[in-house]
Amino acid sequence: MNKKLNVYLAGPRGFCAGVDRAIEMVKGALKKYGHPVYVRHEIVHNKYVVENLKSEGAIFVEQLDEIKDRSRPVIFSAHGVPKSVPEEALKLNLLYFDATCPLVSKIHKEVEHFDKKKLPVILIGHRNHPEVIGTMGQTNNKIYLVENTQDVKNLPLDFNEQIAYVTQTTLSVDDTKDIIKEIKSRFKKIVEPKKNDICYATTNRQEAVKKIASDCDYFLVIGASNSSNSLRLVEVARNYGSKKAILVEDVESLNLNIFENTKNIGITASASSPEILVKKLLDKLKKNFEIKINEAHYEKEDVYFKVPEKLKH
Ligand code: SF4
């Protein structure tokens, strides 16, 4: 008899509405315009998704000047781009489509709005993440990036002046609360975003992990090491009681010997990881263990973002 394993499956997990829309846009462009279709930056941070789209005819570039055939369309990734990118696309006479998630676009509009009011803007986020680069690039004025509470203390701003803040969409809900608390304790006059900028998908996936982490000896997060929301899920699993938590970038190469002294494992998938990878992982476990699956549902999601008419397929 195989060894027994209890598997706790987090719900919701996997693709969010913004990721779904971005992938559908690339597929729609391939169908409508044929291949190749260029994509600026990984459309979403997941190797499996990127490799699949490559096999269908997408070419991934980091900058627009890498595009060899300028008669072909280009799609900007779900993370959003600085204003300079569509400007450059126009100069290069490129046909472009913007797959920025509407929840990231909402933050871009907030930055523009605060900019018009001449308010200094603090952005809570991770340096060099493409979403942060995109959000900072919505203004020519100074925008202050803070990654932790110490950065808030070091801000070169007058604590008596009025400021506004926004956040990256894929942060840790808990860490961000602490940073906002620090901002509020220092600045007296603050304009806050109307609604929390951390998106529904990030929040729900973290809450779903919190619900089951303490039942788990090992937590497996299917995701990518350059994906902010994947890394945050690993941290949440550890912080909420799982004895160990790891990122699984490649299901096939996962060494099952690590579960030798394990009875209970938790599984989730980041917002940019497709459900097929969860299925592959479960199939792999089933071949080696007798598994009992306990699926939890923290919240039902019914968010859907429309694909632009031109790219419907
Ligand atoms: S994680 Fe959130 S902000 Fe990012 S694409 Fe998904 S829904 Fe949009």
pLDDT at 142 (0 to 100): 87
| Contact 16 CB / ligand 1 (< 6 Å) | yes
Set 42, 110, 131, 249: catalytic member: 131
Q: What's the rounded Cα separation, in Å, for the pair 72 and 60? A: 13
Contacts of 158 (CB under 8 A, 6+ apart): none
For residue 203, report the distance from its CA to the centre of ligand 1, in Å: 10
Which of 103, 109, 303 should be mutated for ligand 1, with most atoms under 8 A from CB?
Answer: 103
| Contact 10 CB / ligand 1 (< 6 Å) | no
Q: Tally the residues of the chain.
A: 313
Q: In the block, which residue shows the tokens 């299917």?
A: 222
For residue 288, report the distance from its CA to the centre of ligand 1, in Å: 35
Residue 55 has pLDDT above 70, yes or no: yes
Residue 33: burial class (beta carbons within 10 Å; 0-12, 13-18, 19+):
middle
| Contact 77 CB / ligand 1 (< 6 Å) | no
Residue 313 neighbours by CB distance under 10 Å: 11
pLDDT at 9 (0 to 100): 98
Residue 138 has pLDDT above 60, yes or no: yes
Question: Tokens representing 299?
Answer: 């919240």
pLDDT at 127 (0 to 100): 97
Which ligand 1 atom is the nearest neighbour of the CA of 271?
1
Q: Over the stretch 73-131, which tens digit does the pLDDT of each residue have? A: 999 999 999 999 999 999 999 999 999 999 999 999 999 999 999 999 999 999 999 99
Q: Over the stretch 234-257, which tens digit does the pLDDT of each residue have? A: 999 999 999 999 999 999 999 999
Which ligand 1 atom is the nearest neighbour of the CA of 229?
1
For residue 160, report the distance from its CA to the centre of ligand 1, in Å: 34
pTM greater than 0.85 = yes
Q: How confident is the model at residue 195 (pLDDT cuts 50, 70, 90)?
A: confident
Phi, psi of 58, rounded to the nearest 5 degrees: -85, 140
Q: Over the stretch 91-107, which tens digit does the pLDDT of each residue have? A: 999 999 999 999 999 99
| Contact 103 CB / ligand 1 (< 6 Å) | yes
Which of 131, 197, 202, 231 should be mutated for ligand 1, with most atoms under 8 A from CB?
Answer: 202
Which of 81, 131, 170 should be mutated for ligand 1, with most atoms under 8 A from CB?
Answer: 170
Q: How confident is the model at residue 194 (pLDDT cuts 50, 70, 90)?
A: confident
Q: Rounded mean pLDDT of the chain? A: 96
Residue 1 has pLDDT above 70, yes or no: no
Residue whose Cα lies nearest atom 7 of ligand 1: it is 18
Q: How confident is the model at residue 313 (pLDDT cuts 50, 70, 90)?
A: confident
| Contact 170 CB / ligand 1 (< 6 Å) | yes
Residue 203 has pLDDT above 80, yes or no: yes
DSSP category for residue 11: S
Q: Is 161 a catalytic residue?
A: no
- What domains does the chain contain, in order, with CATH numbers? 4-15+200-295 (3.40.1010.20), 17-101 (3.40.50.11270), 103-191 (3.40.1010.20)
Residue whose Cα lies nearest atom 2 of ligand 1: it is 199
Across the range 187-216, mean pLDDT stands at: 95
pLDDT at 39 (0 to 100): 98
For residue 201, report the distance from its CA to the centre of ligand 1, in Å: 6
Q: What's the rounded Cα separation, in Å, for the pair 175 and 171? A: 8
Which ligand 1 atom is the nearest neighbour of the CA of 16?
6
CB 23 within 8 A of CB 50: no
pLDDT at 301 (0 to 100): 96
